[in-house]
Amino acid sequence: MILRSRSLLPSFGLLAAALAGCSTNSSTPVSIDYRQIGFCNSYAASGAVRAAKPGEVYVVYKIDAVDNAKRSAEFTFFPTRLYIDPVEWGEAKTLKAAKPGEMQEAFALRDRRRFVSNDASFAQSVHVAALQAGVVAGGAKKTLGGYAIVATPTSFEDRPVEHAFKLSYEPQTGEAVDPPVVMSDADAGKTSWPHPENCQELPLDRLP
């Protein structure tokens, strides 16, 4: 009888990942594919009109897919971790690492970020697919096709309201640590977007 040391045998999970070309390295990024659809100022919800605040505008996005194909570990996608970075309206460009005595500044910078809301009223109002949280298996790419809306200030120096607002994703930290997330804009070269008053008039993929 031949005895083999278990330490010399790779685990099935690692072997499968290697054969599939996936990485178990936590530094291997996940990619989120999205596109900026346009701008609007109001939409009807529950019998009332929801309007952007004075000095603000709604930016509408479609999130096409989450690509986790290069990793073996699963990734949990949360729409509410999508945000527009403060640099887009002239605030501090980065959230620097907080040092003793700087925690208030770090929190203030984060508070200036505009995150996607978990309110599904926009999707229901304009009859499109709402963006849903979900788990994307390792080695897989998951199609989403859901819409997200973010309210952002319009006070820019020498810049039109209708410009590209890059989406970012805030990874989880602590016990549930996310890998790096790369946001891929399918319309990165686009320079103009529709801006009707009513969000219902935007070119959206309506549900049947």
Residue 51, beta-bridge partner list: 42
Q: Is residue 87 part of a domain?
A: yes
The candidate with the shortest Cα–Cα distance to 67, out of 203, 197, 180, is 180
| CB 38, CB 57: distance < 8 Å | no
Lowest mean pLDDT across 95-99, 104-108, 113-117, 188-192: 95-99
Q: Is residue 62 part of a domain?
A: yes
**Which structural domain, as residue segments, surrounds residue 80?**
29-201
Q: pLDDT digits over 132-187, tens only?
A: 999 999 999 999 999 999 998 876 655 677 888 999 999 988 888 999 999 999 99
Q: pLDDT digits over 22-59, tens only?
A: 655 678 999 999 999 999 999 998 889 999 999 899 99
pLDDT of residue 7: 40
Q: Is residue 34 part of a domain?
A: yes
Q: Is residue 63 part of a domain?
A: yes
Buried b or exposed e, range 127-161, using 16+ CB within 10 angstroms: ebbbbeeeebebbeeeebebbbbbebbbeeeeeee
Q: Is residue 4 part of a domain?
A: no
Q: Is residue 22 part of a domain?
A: no
Q: How many domains does the chain have?
A: 1
Q: Is residue 8 part of a domain?
A: no
> Nearest 5°: phi and psi at 17?
-65, -40
Q: Is residue 3 part of a domain?
A: no
